Amino acid sequence: MSGELWRLSAVEAVSLLKKKEISPLDLIEASAKRTAEVEPAVNALPTVCFDRARDHAKRIMQGSACEASGEAGWLAGLPVSIKDLTDVAGVRTTYGSPLYANHVPARSHPLVERIERKGGVVVAKSNTPEFGAGGSTFNEVFGRTLNPWNTSLTCGGSTGGGAVSLATGEVWLAHGSDHGGSLRRPGTYCSVVGLRPSPGRVTRGTSNNLWSPQSVQGPMARNVPDLALFLDAMAGFCSQDAMTFDAPCASFSAAVARPVAPRRIAWTADLGGICEVDREIRDITSRMVRRFEEIGCIVEEVSPDFGAADDVFMVLRSQQFVVDRELQIQQHRDKIKPDIIWNTELGLKQSASRLAWAERERAALFRRMAEFFQTYDLLVTPGAPTGAFDVNLRAPTIINGRKLDNYMGGSTLNSAITVTGGPAIAVPCGFDQYGRPVGLQLVGKPRGEAALLQAAALYENIVGLHKLLPIDPKAGTVPPA
């Protein structure tokens, strides 16, 4: 029974679970077998917990863990991966840091509790950069995660392990988080879909930055209907996160099942000139966004005024690093990677006036975006400014001939969207001349996930790249810079 179950979509697998044509245990065994087959090639799920998953599955099968079975997002025993930044009770959770190499939390993160209540069965922790900081997935605890399309290349970061676990068929759904593109960049590099939800859509639970909209939790999947299902499982008010709000009355899955096309789409390859994009990426994405015209959409090349969004993001990001890492650096500086120390010290040097400037600029950008979305239903950009780069690099060093100043320099396409407060999704749109996946980033109105997912689903059906997944890992070489 478990032979080819890893090829099913999440929606297909849940349908079979609900009809009892397969059991959660069947899917766990399929996941375990597939994980054993591909992990040596990709290192996506360094910590597995299949025995714990089997115990949960048995409770679901016995009917003692099915209180949410009538709710939107019921997963009915479907195996999922959880990013290693997020606690799972009784399972090694390292945050990608040597400081926590042997950490085993006693209680799960509120979002994991929600996912498990909705019938998601946690089978593994997915690899992440140290404390989630970085656009390539590696750390001193578990090493590097490799891109299954070409194992010489990065899978992106920081939800790299989650993206790879989906692309290779180890799991059907992957949890992740996003600050400056951590769900969208790996989605682009691995040809899966990753959604950064609106702040408050999904609980962040135990975060010390509870009042900041910068970092969010969210879903990844192989296709948009699967993503909508997982968002339904995650979304809703949480008493431990004051920014959260109730899930919508109509599920995201229902919205995707009856998609409505956006009327007018804005396209910008470089956010109005504030960031660099490699020429081939610009050419492919500029051509592929026009596929929206096949469903009657008007596509216009125009950009909102992003102003100093890049600087605003770095000011606010650095402040968040101070909140999260200042005390750790004081106590364990020698065990924390230089990028984190740099970003934290950047925040410590900032003046109150600089922080005030960033908040004023963020508010002004939000107002400009609100006005922009009175004319346009959707904003589209490339998902990343380059193809996936050498897995041994922490970040690209040059984009379109311009040398980058720091490891975040190649993230502006994603991080500027973070500052707007709107939801954004990465969707595959093709491959470059070296076979590296290329994607689009679709940006919606704040709390406009339903319309955003509808547009993504329609585009996905036009292009059809989701039908290529899951894949077996492929060896390759690093393309020339």
At residue 1 the predicted structure's pLDDT band, cuts being 50, 70 and 90, is: very low
Task: Record the tokens describing residue 182, joined without a space.
Answer: 């951590």
Tell me the CA distances in angstroms from 372 to 363, 451, 455, one per residue in order. Answer: 14, 16, 18
480 occurs within a structural domain = no
**Whether 465 contacts 270, CB under 8 Å:** no
Mean pLDDT score of the chain, rounded to an integer?
97
User: Number of structural domains, the chain?
Assistant: 1
474 occurs within a structural domain = no
At residue 106 the predicted structure's pLDDT band, cuts being 50, 70 and 90, is: very high
For the segment 340-399, what is each residue's pLDDT rounded down to a tens digit?
999 999 999 999 999 999 999 999 999 999 999 999 999 999 999 999 999 999 999 899
At residue 70 the predicted structure's pLDDT band, cuts being 50, 70 and 90, is: very high
pLDDT of residue 38: 98
473 occurs within a structural domain = no
Q: Is the torsion defined by CA of 179, 184, 186, 187 positive or negative?
A: positive
Ramachandran class of 32: left when φ > 0, alpha when ψ lies in -120 to 50, beta otherwise: alpha
Q: Is 305 exposed, middle or buried (0-12, 13-18, 19+ CB in 10 A)?
A: middle
For the segment 273-290, what is each residue's pLDDT rounded down to a tens digit?
999 999 999 999 999 999
Strand, helix or coil at 17? helix
Helical (H) or strand (E) element with 454 = helix 449-463
Report which of 63, 74, 66 is spatially closest to residue 15, judged by C-alpha positions.
74
389 occurs within a structural domain = yes
Does residue 3 carry a pLDDT above 80? no
Identify the CATH number of the domain in which residue 344 sits.
Answer: 3.90.1300.10
Range(s) of the domain holding residue 433: 8-468
Per the listing, tokens 């020429």 go with 279
477 occurs within a structural domain = no
475 occurs within a structural domain = no
- CA–CA dist 56, 59 (Å, integer): 5
- CA–CA dist 254, 252 (Å, integer): 5
**Whether 302 contacts 266, CB under 8 Å:** yes
372 occurs within a structural domain = yes
Helical (H) or strand (E) element with 59 = helix 50-62
301 occurs within a structural domain = yes
